Homo-oligomer: A and B are copies of this chain.
Amino acid sequence: MFGLRMAVRRVWQDWGPWVPFSCNSFLGLSSYYSTIAEATDDLTGNGKRREKILTLQSMNPQVKAVEYAVRGPIVLKAGEIEKELQNGIKKPFNEVIKANIGDAHAMGQQPITFLRQVVALCTFPELLDSPNFPQDAKRRAVRILQGCGGQSLGSYSASQGVDCIREDVAHYIERRDGGIPADPNNIYLTTGASEGIMSILKILVSGEGKSRTGIMIPIPQYPLYSAAISELDAIQVNYYLDEENCWALDVAELQRAVYNAKEYCNPKVLCIINPGNPTGQVQSRQCIEEVIHFAWEEGLFLLADEVYQDNVYSESCQFHSFKKVLYEMGPEYSNNVELASFHSTSKGYMGECGYRGGYMEVVNLHPDITAQFIKMLSVHLCPPVSGQAAMDVVVNPPKPEEESYQQFIREKECVLSNLARKAKLTESLFNEVPGIKCNPLQGAMYAFPRIFIPPSAVEKAKDHQMAPDMFYCMRLLEETGICVVPGSGFGQKEGTYHFRMTILPPEEKLKILLQKVKTFHMKFLKEYS
């Protein structure tokens, strides 16, 4: 049994620093462990066990180094508690609320009718004869199918994506950016934004030792970035967002970071997330201009993660695309700065995560690299064509004169106004709690409140070999069923603690959830004061 426990420990130790070994009964990871136990017993049975070829020792060390908290141990734990509830085990709550991930439909948000109509028509074209589908949806479906080989979603598309969908993306960008031109040849449809970000980073990484590519990312960050950097064996260069100033990005901090990084790597890429994830800030136009100027001066390839471009709630804020600001800064910038920007079907008002739709626009790519990039993408054949169709509807929604317009706008505004209300609600309720401080949720779909963790709780967490905010979040999950992600999974200033929580649950549920967090927090403070 000791050997088994050790094996289990190794699994988790390599996953991350915060995982509960010495407290597994307290934290109830028992059923996950027993699954492993069975597997291990099976392997050791019959005296027939041989050394495995693929082990923690022999595996790809870059993959071993990857951490991805959004689906990390706390989410596995939440899944386990869910199964316990299903099996009738009593808990102080009736359901697990997975507020760890921006998964709108899973939280009950309804799909946009028009989007699903178009994709259903593309899927089963016999429906084009049905009187129950509107003409504008049929027109879009016919157009998409005409762009597909054999007029079928089942054909491979070009690796860059279906031509007419890339044209629609380019028109969308032009409308969004007040007429600044977008070239369909610069558009690449992707398998969600994640795969686009991964692929452009992959082609960017090179060098050894001090010349190894450095990739600048915000702290706190969305952990896709740190995971991709680990996998690619690149160098992570942190720049810190200013929590005291609504998580603003300060160019002086970028300068500090790049200056230090040049000591040990070759900083080549600057990643920006706007609106911020997990931090929810919306960058001002002025700030974007400064960042672009900085990238131009320092010779950095810019990555603008703009998947939350439709999710802006504060009346004082507005979304500005990096592409637009770049072109407004004049040809010295717009002819030179290499910029890749990303969008997705997963967020916004549509929340179609499961379709894995997305696009990137890349400007000023060297033509040699365009050919190399398409070659690299072609190995994966193409992004899912149904996801491309979903992306098409996002960039080409019903027009005011079309029959589906009214319903579309009603559904879209319902989702966005709900989110805006919940953003305000969350901020104000968190700020009522002593020991919780939450910046305004200007955009995106998360709160990232700072939490005070008493020194004796920090000590207790150390005993459990956990990061203090992981300890806090595990306790929150155990006692309330609420699953949030510790700030340590995103990065934070030394000695500060946070968690990320989506604001996607329906309003009434969100109120209860926030109330539960408050009660838990007060109890936690009392317990460890």
Question: Which residues of A are at the interface with B, using a C-beta cutoff of 8 A?
Answer: 7, 10-12, 14-15, 35-36, 39-40, 42-43, 45-46, 48-56, 58-61, 63-64, 66-68, 70-72, 101, 103-109, 111, 116-117, 119-120, 123-124, 127, 130, 132, 148-150, 152-157, 159, 185, 191-192, 194-195, 198, 202-206, 223-224, 227-228, 231, 268, 299-301, 331-332, 335-336, 338, 350-356, 364-372, 375-376, 378-387
Contact = CB atoms under 8 A, between A and B. Distances in A.
Contacts of A204: 54, 59-60
A372 B14 CA distance: 8
10 smallest A-B Cβ distances: which pairs? A106-B149, A354-B385, A120-B124, A105-B152, A71-B378, A384-B384, A106-B155, A105-B154, A356-B384, A154-B352
Contact of A369 (B56, B67, B70): B56
Contacts of A385: 354-356
Contacts of A159: 71
A193 to B, nearest CB: 10
B354 A152 contact: yes
Given A66-B375, A223-B379, 14 more contacts: A11-B367, A15-B372, A36-B370, A39-B367, A39-B370, A43-B335, A54-B204, A55-B366, A59-B372, A63-B202, A68-B379, A70-B378, A107-B150, A154-B351
A262 B282 CA distance: 55
How often does this chain occur in the complex, in copies? 2
A525 B366 CA distance: 41
12 contacts: A14-B368, A39-B370, A52-B366, A63-B203, A72-B378, A117-B124, A153-B354, A153-B355, A157-B354, A191-B356, A224-B379, A356-B385
B338 A195 contact: no
A403 to B, nearest CB: 17
A195 B380 contact: yes
A366 B156 contact: no
A496 to B, nearest CB: 25
A57 to B, nearest CB: 9
A11 B368 contact: yes
B354 A156 contact: yes
Contacts of A46: 331, 335
A35 B364 CA distance: 14
Contact of A15 (B70, B195, B300, B375): B375
A105 B335 contact: no
A60 B60 CA distance: 18
A386 to B, nearest CB: 4
Contacts of A384: 191, 354-356, 384, 386-387
A42 B331 CA distance: 11
Given A154-B355, A366-B55, A371 B15 contact: yes
A300 to B, nearest CB: 7
Nearest to A115: B154
A368 B56 CA distance: 7
B354 A154 contact: yes
Given A152-B111, A375-B68, A384-B384, A364 B49 contact: no
Nearest to A13: B368
B10 A368 contact: yes
Given A202-B63, A354-B148, A103 B368 contact: no
B49 A335 contact: yes
B60 A300 contact: no
A368 B152 contact: no
Contacts of A353: 154-156, 381-382
A421 to B, nearest CB: 20
A53 B152 contact: no
Nearest to A186: B39
A63 B380 CA distance: 13
Contacts of A120: 120, 123-124, 127
A149 B105 contact: yes
Given A148-B354, A154-B351, A55 B104 contact: no
A376 B55 contact: no
Given A195-B380, A203-B63, A101 B48 contact: no
A228 B378 CA distance: 12
Contact of A367 (B40, B49, B51): B40
Q: Which among A10, A51, A64, A157 has the highest number of chain B CB atoms within 10 Å?
A: A64
Contact of A52 (B42, B205, B338, B379): B338
A314 B63 CA distance: 43
Nearest to A195: B380
A53 B205 CA distance: 11
Contacts of A228: 379
Contacts of A386: 119, 123, 354-355, 384, 386-387
A231 B379 CA distance: 10
